[in-house]
Structure formats: structure tokens, C-alpha cells
Structure 1
């Protein structure tokens, strides 16, 4: 009787092989450098831009003032009750992402996504310190940690950490006055929340940009799964002209070389890809359409005397025409189609609506909240009194006097708690909570009725601008 030892099952998981992209030059690589400089410049420098709003307001151009529940963006000030502006911007961002993906594929992922930008920056630092692709591969495969490997790795990691810490530090500057917070951070007088936020963002930037890289795009980001619904055969995306490049081969002077395609199987497109994929295998979930493979392939085609564009931005609908020798349609015809035009109309409509609402909003505002416990009080002379909490918003940069009065309801009067008349002062760019009493004489219709609709109005004494809110007066029948 023979027995066999049980064998361990094959692993369903393949360990990640680090990707070391080779340096490449070309149009799209230069475009990515420009976009990286612009986006990082905006991110790091914006909190330091000053904007004079007056003596009682912050002078930081872009500020999310959580303490006072306000958002400042240059000359624009968003109050908590105006959150619909933020919601509108988020909807515009989503539609914009749909629009660009439908027209040009994953251009957001390839050029402006924060994960892409910081990964590009970390790879640049890695290349400066450890060398280009072959040098980094040799260092990675070197098992022994000698003094040189330790020096290079520590230098790289320290530089990554400083960039990551600057990233986390820049983020917290958007939530309070940047120069003041910087001094507090250096002198260890800042709030613990600031240090915690910087620590979390430093760790995530260091790990995501330095070590996980393409794994974030493939496994953590949901957009690769969503993009299929946004793209169709007219979407412009990075593709390989298989009908021109195949069959591929390296030997150009051997018998039968005339039957080979333009691709010499040099793997230049693979070596420069930050995702480590081969675009010649067709469209793939991991492709972020960064177009670095286009630059690499064009460079090779020029060296061997072949036309550029073996790998290029193109639409699948042009494949058959190009196979037959015809020219592809202009890119503009691929972009201007019903889907993209619908996205553009929706995106533009929301943008116009937000701009109109921004410039038509009043500089004063109010809310009225009736006090429900009790809903009314009967005074000694039979007068029925209702109480309301009125919030008066003064959006001007200086103190303003507001007059409050009542409209509607025969035999009814209004008085303000703590005020000798119907005028109260609201401080600059702030909210005043004012207790308001509305009274109906015993013989007034409102005193006898169950509910009477009335309107409370507020007027800026200096400008005549006013706001109003409808509310209800509760009588004895209630």
C-alpha cells in the first residue's frame, strides 16, 4: 500500500514585482512635467496668497474657516446656509470627469490625479538618487545591504518623507491662517489636531507615492471600473496600431524580414510605463493613458526610419479605415458627439446657475424659528404673544443697523428683546440671534384665530436692502 504526501495548493496570489520606469523624453512627458509643476505649485503656494477683505476678516485668499463656519475663496465668501454652492461644484467636478473620460479616456488619471502627480515626483527623486531604470533594477536585485545601498535608500526615503511632510503641512494651512499656524507648528504650540492631520497625510503620501504606486490605481481606486461606462468606440485613448506593427520582430536583415511589421519588439513602451503593462496587448484596466509609451515608441520609430504613431491617441472607430489605408477622422469629430455635448451642456448649465446665484445673493439674510414651547402666551390684559428666534446675517465688512418690522395681521405689533426700538446693530460679517415678540390685541382677528400668516422683514438702514421670511402666528383657537 503506497501513500502520497499531500501537496500544497498553488498560490492564487502573485507577489508584486516593483516597477522601475525608464526615463523618457517627448511631447507628453514634457506636458506631464508642466502639469506637475502647475498643480504642485497651486497646492503648496495657495495658502500663502493674501487677499484684503477688511480689518475684521481673514486676509488669506483661500481659507476653510471651520471655527466660524465659513469658506473664503478670494472675493467669494460662502456661509453655512449656502452649502449648495459647494454641492454644485462637486456635481460639476463629477460631470467634468465624465466629460473628459468620454472624450479623451483617462486623461485625469494620467495627468492630474494626485496619486499620479506625487508618484511622478517620487519616481523623479528616485531616479535622481539611484539612477535610471537599469541602475535601480540592479540595486533592487542586490541582496546584500552594503554601505552604498544603505546610503542611497536612506537618502531616497528621507527625501520622500520631507515631500510627504510638506504635503500634509500644506493641507492644514488651508484651514487656518498659514503664517500663524507655521509659527505655532515650529514652536510646538499648534493644536494636536494639526499635528495628527500632518502625520496621517505624511504617512499616506509616503506609502502611496513611494511604495504602493500603481497598486492604488489598480486595486484602491474605483474609477478604472467605472470608466468602461464612460467610454465607447469613439473615445480617444492610447492604443497600439496592431495592423501596422505585427508581426513584430527584432531581426531586420534576415530572410523574411520584409514580412515583419514596424514593431521591433524593443519593449521601450513597456519599460517606460509607470503601470508596468504592455499596451500592445490592447486596452487594459491598469492603463492610465499617460502617453509615455507614445513618446518612447515615437523615439524608436525615428531611429529606425519608420513613421511615428505606431502607438498613439486614437479611436477604435478609425481602425477599419486605417487598415484600408484611409486617413482617420479628425479628433474634433470624435470629441463632438451626442454624449460629450450632453455632458458639456449639463456642466455649463450648472456653472452658469452657480455664477448667477452667486452674484444675485443678498448681502443681508435672515431665518425665523418660532418658539414652540409654549406656542403662545396670554398676557394679563388678554394680549396673545408669540416668540421667535430670528437670526440676522450681516455679510458686509462693517457693522450695520437693521430695522425689523411686521407685515400682515390687523392689530398686531412687534418688539425686540433688549432693544429700545425696532433697530438692532449686527456686527460686521457675522450673525446676530435676536429674540422677537409678536403680539396681537385681545380683539384682533389673529388672537382669536388658530393660525395667521405673517411676514417678518429686516432692512439695512444705510442701504435700504431688505430680506423677509413668512411665518405663522398662533392664536387662542390653537
Structure 2
């Protein structure tokens, strides 16, 4: 059994050097039943349902646009998330979402450790699904270990073939569902099935099929232990007050079989509740022994809790030898002190408020953003020109963004200069901008002023009279001509 020696010492938290063989040996977890296993099945079903169904949900985005609720339209440069439409120029919203997701992970870690990893991480979800197929075809842990290295028979060959065929089917469906988020899902699905899809679509389905098949079928716990950065971050953000899976060593030690424990207690000698049955290790998808102490590789899935509780019930002993409990409370119990639940504390509240604040700012920004935008870039060469009559001319590249679904006309004005003349090259009157498009304009500004001056460009919608502005600078000519 592969294990990772990352035990935690209260006075010094650090990740120990893994033992030899932990990379080459594969973990073969045993099935288990219990409340946390049921929660994991529910999480798996919900996650898979959302992943596969989301591309087919319809949402009206306007005339001439896709009605797919969640779509990253690379051709038109749009990201649709139900009623939200994000342009390439608004990539800062995606940055905000990434920061929000990071804060959410930190908050979850402060409340319940790597609870995300144990229940909702895609690696966990698809690994659970692949393990379900493996158990259905080859049997539970004991049967799979017996077959490992056994002579290859016809039955064994058929089992291996069936298992990998189902794995590849799931992986292909996973890759196929992912590309549906980039093109209209029903259309692309028909094209993929009939061979009319583009080579790029088939290539991405193939790439994602291979990655899903490899990571969920073979890498499994190695991804959670070695490839994922989250275990490395545990050394910095591990919280002893978080509700993580822990072993009550003061109650379980010294370990002894059920019969031996009765004999020791009859003699008045100490005997713990742990019978060293190894069920907690056998069911662990990572292959660690939680009895060694808090472990940074633990994904907090709670399967060892279910396994241990099952053994305790059979032995007529109290549940909770392994349980979701704060490490500080384990230490308090060891000292016979009352436990304290401190889920609501400074760290969890402050990170939670940060999440609410950032989400609020992004929500307000999205609700107040305009469906038009103007940007201005000053000419670099020449920066300024002195005309024969002594006036100064600066040139600007003005870009109008029309995010509406209809063509619009804008009046372009400049403020901040006295007696300035503004010309839009090639235009005589309001400037039109096509629907869902940008318009680049060449705008020379001429004035008699010679001092460096800030100016404001304003584009006013002719119909609604709504205005958008952009600021730049007017620069005097040094040499002139």
C-alpha cells in the first residue's frame, strides 16, 4: 500500500520527504458505505449533471447571437454566462473571478481543510467514477489485489478490455462535453457525430480524452499528492481550528485486537479502541494513514471516518475515533479540557467578508457598465504639428465600441481646450457604429493653445443621449513646421 509520510507535529508543521515507492505503487482503495460516502455520491452526481447539462441550457442573448446560456465564443470574442456578457476588453472580470475562486478555496480551507478536494474537485469526481467502473468489472479491493500479477486468462482479458473500453467512453464523453462550451452545443454535437466538425474540435476531444483517461484511470492519487499545488500550500495556510479529518490518538492508543483489549482491561492495563484493522488506510483514496497525525496529502473526504465508525459499531464502541474535528480540540481532549468549536473566528469571517466585498464590487460594476465605450490613443509620430498659421495640431486614434445589438450613431466632442476644432477624418456628422462591433477613427484636434493640457473625448449616443468619455493630453509642438 502506498503511503505518504507527511505527519504533522504541533510545534512545527512541514511536509516530510515521501517514502520510497510512493510514486511507483498504485493505491487500490476499498469500497465503503456511510454518510460521507453518500455525500460524495451526491456531489459526484451533481457535478457531472452540471458539467454535461450546462451547455444545453438556453438563454436569449439578443438578435444574431447564440442562445447558449454558458458559452465562450472565440469567433466573436465573447463570454456568455447567462445574463452576463463579457468582451475581450473586460478580461479584468475574469481576473476578478479567479481571485474570487482563490479566496473561496482559502475560506473553505479555514473552515474544513481540503474539503473541496475531497468532494468537488474534477480529479476526485472523475477518479470516483473510474473507480466505480473498476469495482463493477473487477470486484472490490481484495479481488483486484488477487488479480494483480495473476496469470492472464480469457476472463481476465475480457475484464481488462471492458474496463478500459468504459473508461475510454467516459473520457471521450468528457472531452466532447468540454468543447461544447466553445460552440453552440446542439449544432456541434450533431457535427461531431456525423463527421462534419472541424479538425480542431476533433483534436481537442482527443486531447481531453487522453488527459481524462490518464489522470482518472492511472495517475489518480499521484495528481492529488504530487501534481496539485494545494498540498504544498497547506504548509502556509493549514489551520488547526479547521474541521479536518483527525484521529483521536488519546482514545485509540495503545492499539490492540478486540480480544486482546478485553484481556488487558480485565488486568487493569491500558488498551485503546483502535484494533489496528487498517480499514481507515484501505479505504483512503490517497493511501495515507490518518493515525499518524494531520497529513497535508489528506483530501478530507471522510471515507476513513465511515470505515472506522463501521468497525466501532460492530464492536459496540463509540463512534468518532476518526472524525471531522479541529486539531486544537484533539489536543484539548488529550489534556481533558472542554472542546471549543471555532468555525466562526477572525480568519474565517475576514476571508468571508472579503469574498462578499469582492463579489459585491464585481456585481455593482457589471450592473453599472455601459453598452458603449471609447478609448483614445495619442499619435506617437509626430506627437504634435505646428501649422503655418501658428496653431498646434495633435492626432488621435479613437476607438468606439458598440456592445448593443443594433447599429448606433454617436456625436464626438472634445472638451478642455479653448477655441479647438475637431475633425473626424472621413466623417461629416454623427459617427455610425455597427451592432456588436468596434469602429476606429482618425481624429485631429487643432487649437491655438501652446500649454500641455488634459482633454476629454466624449461620444454621445444620438438617440439615448447617453455619453461615454475617455481622457488624454494635448501636447504643444516643440520644433514645429
Work out whether the TM-score is over 0.5: yes
Name the CA shift for 1:461/1:87 in 2 (closer, same or farther; >3 Å). Answer: same
Which of residues 355, 358, 362 in structure 2 aligns to 1:354? 362
User: Would you say the 8 A contact 1:56–1:428 is kept in 2?
Assistant: no
TM-aligned CA deviation for residue 146 of structure 1? 0.9
Name the CA shift for 1:33/1:465 in 2 (closer, same or farther; >3 Å). Answer: same
Secondary structure of 1:284's partner? coil
Which of residues 438, 444, 449 in structure 1 aligns to 2:445? 438
User: Would you say the 8 A contact 1:364–1:465 is kept in 2?
Assistant: no
In structure 1, how many angstroms separate the alpha carbons of the residues matched to 2:461 and 2:158? 68
Question: Does residue 1:179 correspond to 2:180, yes or no?
Answer: no
Matches within 5 A, 1:126-137: 126-137=134-145
In the alignment, which residue of structure 2 is the partner of 1:6? Answer: none
In structure 2, how many angstroms separate the alpha carbons of the residues matched to 1:372 and 1:321? 69
Matches within 5 A, 1:440-459: 440=447, 445-446=448-449, 449=450, 451-459=452-460
User: Would you say the 8 A contact 1:35–1:112 is kept in 2?
Assistant: yes
In the alignment, which residue of structure 2 is the partner of 1:465? Answer: 466
Which of residues 334, 342, 348 in structure 1 aligns to 2:350? 342
User: Would you say the 8 A contact 2:246–2:294 is kept in 1?
Assistant: yes
Q: Deviations over 1:190-241 (max 9, x none)?
A: 3333222222221111111111111111121121121122123222210111
Question: Does residue 1:224 correspond to 2:231, yes or no?
Answer: yes
In structure 1, how many angstroms separate the alpha carbons of the residues matched to 2:424 and 2:210? 54
In the alignment, which residue of structure 2 is the partner of 1:261? Answer: 272
User: Would you say the 8 A contact 1:53–1:397 is kept in 2?
Assistant: no
Q: In the comparison of the two structures, how many residue pairs are matched?
A: 457
In structure 2, how many angstroms separate the alpha carbons of the residues matched to 1:379 and 1:320? 83
TM-aligned CA deviation for residue 15 of structure 1? 6.7
Is the deviation greater in 310-319 or in 368-377?
Answer: 368-377
Q: Deviations over 1:48-97 (max 9, x none)?
A: 21111111222111111222222111111112222211111111111111
TM-score by length of 1: 0.89
Secondary structure of 1:72's partner? strand
In structure 1, how many angstroms separate the alpha carbons of the residues matched to 2:378 and 2:191? 44
In the alignment, which residue of structure 2 is the partner of 1:88? Answer: 96
Question: Does residue 1:287 correspond to 2:287, yes or no?
Answer: no
User: Would you say the 8 A contact 2:109–2:239 is kept in 1?
Assistant: no
In structure 2, how many angstroms separate the alpha carbons of the residues matched to 1:41 and 1:146? 38
In structure 2, how many angstroms separate the alpha carbons of the residues matched to 1:94 and 1:251? 46
Matches within 5 A, 1:177-256: 177-252=184-259, 255-256=263-264
Secondary structure of 1:24's partner? coil
Name the CA shift for 1:230/1:147 in 2 (closer, same or farther; >3 Å). Answer: same
Secondary structure of 1:183's partner? helix
Is the deviation greater in 299-308 or in 242-251?
Answer: 242-251
In structure 2, how many angstroms separate the alpha carbons of the residues matched to 1:204 and 1:178? 22
Which of residues 135, 143, 147 in structure 2 aligns to 1:139? 147
Matches within 5 A, 1:416-427: 416-421=424-429, 423-427=430-434
User: Would you say the 8 A contact 1:50–1:60 is kept in 2?
Assistant: yes
Question: Does residue 1:369 correspond to 2:344, yes or no?
Answer: no
TM-aligned CA deviation for residue 150 of structure 1? 0.8
Name the CA shift for 1:251/1:32 in 2 (closer, same or farther; >3 Å). Answer: closer
User: Would you say the 8 A contact 2:375–2:398 is kept in 1?
Assistant: yes
Secondary structure of 2:309's partner? helix
In structure 1, how many angstroms separate the alpha carbons of the residues matched to 2:114 and 2:213? 24
TM-aligned CA deviation for residue 377 of structure 1? 5.1
Question: Does residue 1:58 correspond to 2:59, yes or no?
Answer: no
In structure 1, how many angstroms separate the alpha carbons of the residues matched to 2:331 and 2:289? 22
TM-aligned CA deviation for residue 466 of structure 1? 0.2
User: Would you say the 8 A contact 2:119–2:125 is kept in 1?
Assistant: yes
Question: Does residue 1:313 correspond to 2:324, yes or no?
Answer: yes
In structure 2, how many angstroms separate the alpha carbons of the residues matched to 1:464 and 1:374? 34
In structure 2, how many angstroms separate the alpha carbons of the residues matched to 1:323 and 1:369? 68
Q: Deviations over 1:24-69 (max 9, x none)?
A: 1111111111111111222222112111111122211111122222
User: Would you say the 8 A contact 1:365–1:393 is kept in 2?
Assistant: yes
Name the CA shift for 1:459/1:135 in 2 (closer, same or farther; >3 Å). Answer: same
In the alignment, which residue of structure 2 is the partner of 1:25? Answer: 33
Unaligned runs of 5+ in 2: 1-18
Secondary structure of 1:255's partner? helix
Question: Does residue 1:299 correspond to 2:310, yes or no?
Answer: yes
TM-aligned CA deviation for residue 295 of structure 1? 0.8
Is the deviation greater in 227-236 or in 186-195?
Answer: 186-195
